[in-house]
C-alpha cells in the first residue's frame, strides 16, 4: 500500500516538475525515493555546480538549508525552492559571523576557508569555500606563509592539516552524525567482518580515520566502493550513500559502522513535501544581495580552484 502511494506521489511530482519546468537536485543523504526522482544527485560540491549549470530557471533543492542557499547564491536570476526550509545543519549553525571577524582582527593577513556546510552569512565573510571532496586540493594552492582559519568542522580541518602537513586554526565544532562514530564501532565491525574494507568520511574523528582503508567525501566513498574489486565494506558516513552504491554496484555487501548514522534533517524531506513545494512553488529561498554578492565570491573561487 505504501509503495502504491509513493508511486502515485512520484507520478504527480514528475508531472508538476515537467509542467512547471523545475530542475530537482538532491543530496546523497536524501531518502532513496527522493534520490530516484531527482534530475541530479550528488555531494554538496556537485550540487553547487549542478545548480549553477541548471538548464532550467527554477531549481528545487532536496537538501538542508545551506545547500539551497548555495544554489540561490550562485543563481541570482533563478528561483530556488526548498521543500523543507526547517531542514538545517547544527554544525553549520554553530559558528557566528562575529567569530570570523574577531579572528580576522587578531590575525591580519589571514585567510578564512569556509566549509560549504555554512550559512550564506558565513560564506560572505570567508575568502574561499571548500568541500570535503576538494578541500585538500584547494588549500594546497593557497599561500603557505599566511594563517588559515578553517571553519567550522574541526575533524575535517585536522584531516586536511595532516594531509598537507601544515598548521591550520580550527573552530571547535563537528558534524554530530560523523562525530558519533567511535573507534570501538569500527573495531567491532572489523572483528565481525574481517575481510571488509573501512570507508570513512573525513568529518569523522582522527582515531576513526586512522582505522580506515579509504577516506573521502560522500561521492568519493560511493565511487571507491563501486570501482573496488572488494565485495564487503564498512561504511562510516550517513547511510543514504548505500542506496547509490547499491544502484551503481549491486551485490556489494555494505555494513553501516553504527546504527545511528541517520541525519534527521536530511530525512525530514519527504515526497509529500516535495509535491507541496511544486504545487505552491514554495518555499522560495532568497539571500539578501549584500550577502549574496560577497558569498558568491567565495563559492566561485571554490569552483575555480577545484578545477
Predicted confidence (pLDDT) per residue in 234-261, tens digit: 999 999 999 999 999 999 999 999 999 9
Rounded CA-CA distance 204/17 in Å is 37
Rounded CA-CA distance 273/62 in Å is 10
Predicted confidence (pLDDT) per residue in 87-132, tens digit: 999 999 999 999 999 999 999 999 999 999 999 999 999 999 999 9
pLDDT for position 1: 46
In this structure, the answer to whether residues 54 and 129 fall within a common structural domain is no
pLDDT for position 2: 62
pLDDT for position 42: 96
Find out whether 2 and 19 touch, Cβ atoms under 8 Å.
no
In this structure, the answer to whether residues 33 and 48 fall within a common structural domain is yes
In this structure, the answer to whether residues 152 and 301 fall within a common structural domain is yes
Into how many domains does the chain fold? 3
pTM for the complete prediction?
Answer: 0.94
Rounded CA-CA distance 92/104 in Å is 19
Q: How far is CA 112 from CA 3, 81, 300, in A?
A: 47, 29, 15
The whole domain housing 126 covers 92-173+292-305
The answer to whether residue 200 scores a pLDDT higher than 60 is yes
Q: Is residue 261 part of a domain?
A: no
Predicted confidence (pLDDT) per residue in 118-169, tens digit: 999 999 999 999 999 999 999 999 999 999 999 999 999 999 999 999 999 9
User: How remote is the C-alpha of 255 from its chain's centroid?
Assistant: 21
CATH number at residue 17: 3.40.50.10800
Predicted confidence (pLDDT) per residue in 218-231, tens digit: 999 999 999 999 99
In this structure, the answer to whether residues 296 and 168 fall within a common structural domain is yes
C-alpha cell recorded at residue 163: 594531509
In this structure, the answer to whether residues 161 and 184 fall within a common structural domain is no
| DSSP conformation class of 196 | P
| Distance linking the first and last C-alpha atoms of the chain | 47
The answer to whether residue 5 scores a pLDDT higher than 90 is no
pLDDT for position 307: 85
Provide the Cα torsion 199, 201, 206, 208; round to 10°: -40
Amino acid at each position: 500500500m505504501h509503495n502504491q502511494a509513493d508511486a502515485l506521489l512520484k507520478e504527480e511530482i514528475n508531472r508538476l516538475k515537467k509542467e512547471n519546468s523545475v530542475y530537482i537536485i538532491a543530496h546523497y543523504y536524501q531518502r532513496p525515493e527522493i534520490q530516484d526522482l531527482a534530475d541530479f544527485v550528488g555531494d554538496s560540491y556537485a550540487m553547487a555546480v549542478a545548480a549553477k549549470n541548471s538548464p532550467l530557471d527554477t531549481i528545487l533543492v532536496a537538501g538542508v538549508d545551506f545547500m539551497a542557499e548555495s544554489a540561490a547564491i550562485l543563481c541570482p536570476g533563478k528561483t530556488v525552492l526548498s521543500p523543507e526550509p526547517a531542514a538545517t545543519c547544527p554544525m553549520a549553525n554553530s559558528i557566528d559571523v562575529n567569530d570570523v571577524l574577531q579572528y580576522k582582527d587578531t590575525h591580519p593577513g589571514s585567510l578564512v576557508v569556509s566549509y560549504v556546510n555554512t550559512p550564506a552569512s558565513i560564506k560572505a565573510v570567508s575568502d574561499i569555500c571548500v568541500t570535503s571532496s576538494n578541500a585538500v586540493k584547494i588549500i594546497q594552492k593557497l599561500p603557505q606563509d599566511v594563517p588559515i582559519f578553517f571553519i567550522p568542522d574541526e575533524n575535517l580541518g585536522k584531516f586536511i592539516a595532516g594531509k598537507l602537513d601544515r598548521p591550520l586554526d580550527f573552530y571547535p565544532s563537528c558534524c554530530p552524525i560523523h562525530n558519533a562514530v567511535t573507534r570501538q564501532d569500527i573495531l567491532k565491525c572489523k572483528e565481525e567482518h574481517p575481510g571488509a574494507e573501512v570507508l570513512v568520511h573525513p568529518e569523522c574523528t582522527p582515531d576513526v580515520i586512522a582505522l580506515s582503508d579509504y577516506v573521502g567525501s560522500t561521492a568519493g566513498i560511493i565511487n571507491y566502493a563501486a570501482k573496488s574489486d572488494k565485495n564487503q565494506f564498512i561504511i562510516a558516513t550517513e547511510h543514504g550513500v548505500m542506496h547509490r552504491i547499491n544502484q551503481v554496484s549491486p551485490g556489494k555487501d555494505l555494513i553501516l559502522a553504527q546504527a545511528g548514522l541517520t541525519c534527521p534533517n536530511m530525512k525530514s524531506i519527504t515526497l509529500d513535501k516535495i509535491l507541496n513545494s511544486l504545487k505552491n512553488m514554495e518555499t522560495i529561498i532568497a539571500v539578501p544581495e549584500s550577502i549574496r554578492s560577497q558569498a558568491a565570491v567565495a563559492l566561485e573561487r571554490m569552483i575555480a580552484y577545484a578545477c
